[in-house]
Amino acid sequence: MTVTLADVAARAQVSPATVSRVLNGNYPVAASTRERVLRAVDELDYVLNGPASALAAATSDLVGILVNDIADPFFGIMAGAIQSEIGGPGGRAGGERLAVVCNTGGSAERELTYLTLLQRQRAAAVVLTGGAVENTAHAEAVATKLRKLADAGTKIVLCGRPPAPADTDAVALTFDNRGGGQQLTEHLIGLGHRRMGYIAGPEERTTTRHRLEGHRAALAAHGVPDNPDWTVHGRYDRRAGYEATLELLRRDPELTAVVAANDTVALGACAAVRDSGLRIPDDVSVVGFDDLPFSIDAVPALTTVRLPLADAGARAGRIAMGREEAPPGGIATIRGELMVRGSTGAPKNS
């Protein structure tokens, strides 16, 4: 039986006009109402069984790129590289596709909403970037959405994100965050550091867990204590890095190094070290992760792990457009490169 607009309205407990406004996006609707309507659309598979006009083509010329924070260079670089590959020979008449960047703001609910909207628009491809939310219910909901997208002919590529269940047909280009985290900490241990503070990202993100696991693996391999007081979680931004570093130094003024979750956090850490009257790296060494463009221009230049963000994004774009074969098994692990610069040195008492 064909699902109608009225069926969606009844499920969402709104009027058919409200459903139409939400789906067409041409009239303001309260966020809670919008989410309720989109949930009903998804539950009833209205996207797949909608009007014949929506079924005129297997997929549209739309490509969705999901990012956590477009203002973060980590995501901006990947999104730009993905978009650069969207046009060209893989497109339709004229070789063009419309790339739409969907900024979730780190919200799990917004991620699901965008996937629903892209499903309704019959997107030709969807590329999800960055770490995933570590929540079983959310992971299952995302997997369900990806299956529906794939069944409708949408190509799905994950860039810098852990693999999805095999039955989602998603290609995954995943970063070796554990290996990079281990490299950074082993570099510091090799310099003689034994008292290292660690600024982790949000606890619910896979990237956070994997980089922290790499750090802890290096500590364990070299018999260095892992003091719980030496780890603080925070956002992936400069202010969080600043505040976390002050807290770490308050907990243990004898720390000789700070490992930051990413380069932006590391900038905040460097500022906190300087404002505490300490020198980098003479008193405290600081390391980041990602090798964002500003890292080499920091003073001193930041020791970090370089991830090939632009190359990975461009590859994801080509795979999404069918201009490059998927890796064997649909999964490729992209390793980082340790970049040793002026922000690290031997501790004074080594």
pTM score, whole prediction? 0.84
Residue 16 pLDDT: 81
Whether 157 and 171 have beta carbons less than 8 Å apart is answered as yes
Residue 166 neighbours by CB under 8 Å, 6+ apart: 330
Residue 58 pLDDT: 52
Q: What is the pLDDT along the chain (350 residues), one digit of tens a residue?
A: 677 878 888 888 888 878 777 776 656 778 788 778 888 887 787 754 444 444 444 568 899 999 999 999 999 999 999 999 987 544 443 457 889 999 999 999 999 999 999 998 899 999 999 999 999 999 999 999 999 999 999 999 999 999 999 999 999 999 999 999 999 999 999 999 999 999 999 999 999 999 999 999 999 999 999 999 999 999 999 999 999 999 999 999 999 999 999 999 999 999 999 999 999 999 999 999 999 999 999 999 999 999 999 999 999 999 999 999 999 999 999 999 999 999 999 998 75
Residue 26 pLDDT: 54
Residue 54 pLDDT: 43
Domains detected in the chain = 1-56 (1.10.260.40), 177-306 (3.40.50.2300)
Residue 110 pLDDT: 93
| Backbone CA torsion sign across 119, 125, 129, 134 | positive
DSSP output for 8-49: HHHHHTS-HHHHHHHHHT-S---HHHHHHHHHHHHHTTTTTS
